[in-house]
Amino acid sequence: MPSNEVTSPSAGLQRELELAREAALSAGEILERYFRDRGFEIDQKGKDNPVTTADFDADSEIKRLLEAAFPEYGWLSEETADNSDRLSRRRVWIVDPLDGTKEFIKGIPEFVIAIALAEEGHPVLGVTYNPIKREMFWCTRGGGCYMDSRPVHVTPTPSLEHAVVLASRSETSRGEWKSYEGKLRVNPIGSVAYKLALVAAGRADATFTRTPKSEWDIASGAALVIEAGGRITDIDGSEMRFNKPSVKLKGFVASNALLHEEIERLVPHPDRPKTSP
């Protein structure tokens, strides 16, 4: 079980971090119970986009804890109807109560709770928790990145030749990573937020996707990667900003920073023709 002890939050964010970690653990108990007894119902929000009763129950628990403690903060969550009021708030919680729903349904323990706090568009706090593996990744701006109580950092791998890149399970099953065969060592893993946390913790060197993602998929992981010494950008190399009117973000590249430009040259996007690595 991850420790609840907070060792090094940055000034001004200690209470937020404590409550975010508490909310993640509490929601994690809900997800674990559903995961073990398989007592959830499944619906579809769109094509290939399932949602379960576990998603909604975890969302309600996180919202209950965080909104009660910080009523002045905005709220953006995958499972809560969006409200434009958040756009006027200086600080906004950005939450995915169950990132990796497909893996959750299949019984694969590669799903997480992702909680971020954005301040004027910048991710300043991230908590990503895998309740089955008991892994909690967390950070605050300027306070470093941690897995449970241990400081973590991105890898020092200097080139893609020796790098391990995490890919989307869905994308690889659709054949979208075939063009990288022979160029990258690819490891398919569920959940965008989980992949970003693993990169931040130095358990992989990079992850990327050309598929647009929502803010709640990325915000917590972006905070973790940055505090762990890595780099994350849009697929076109632009800095990521959060709490925008449209929650959809371009695909992204996240890496240990040393690999970033090499990956950007390898990965095509609409504004730039593909070049050979």
Euclidean distance between the first and final Cα of the chain, in Å?
Answer: 42
Let me know: does 230 contact 241? Beta carbons within 8 Å: no
How high is the pLDDT of residue 270? 54
* Cα separation values, 149 from 98, 130, 216, Å: 23, 15, 24
Average pLDDT of the chain is 91
Predicted pLDDT of residue 236: 87
Average pLDDT over residues 8-34: 90
* DSSP notation for 54-74: HHHHHHHHHHHHHHHH-TTSE
Instruction: Evaluate if residue 274 carries a pLDDT over 50.
Output: no
Q: What pLDDT score was predicted for residue 271?
A: 54
CA-closest candidate to residue 216, choices 82, 87, 106, 110: 82
Mean pLDDT computed over 231-235: 94
Q: Measure the CA–CA gap between 223 and 123, rounded to whole angstroms.
A: 5
Domains and CATH numbers, the chain: 14-152 (3.30.540.10), 160-266 (3.40.190.80)
Q: What is the pLDDT of residue 276?
A: 40
Share of the chain above pLDDT 90, in %: 79
DSSP classification of residue 223: H
Sheet order of strands, 112-119 included: 74-77, 91-99, 112-119, 122-130, 135-140, 145-147, 150-152
Say whether pLDDT at 195 is over 90. Answer: yes
- Split at pLDDT 50, 70, 90, the class of 180 is confident
Question: CA-CA distance, 12 to 109, in Å (whole number)?
Answer: 34
pTM: 0.91
What's the gap between Cα 248 and its chain centre? 14
Over residues 176-198, mean pLDDT: 90
pLDDT (tens digit, 9 = 90+) per residue, 65-107?
999 999 999 999 999 999 999 999 999 999 999 999 999 999 9
Task: Tell me what pLDDT residue 5 has.
Answer: 40
Count Cβ neighbours within 10 Å for each residue of 74-93 and write b for 16 or more, e otherwise: bbbbbbbeeeeebeebebbb
Beta bridge partners, 91, equal 119
Q: Provide the strand spans (E) within the chain.
A: 42-46, 49-52, 74-77, 91-99, 112-119, 122-130, 135-140, 145-147, 150-152, 164-168, 185-189, 206-209, 213-214, 231-234, 248-249, 252-255
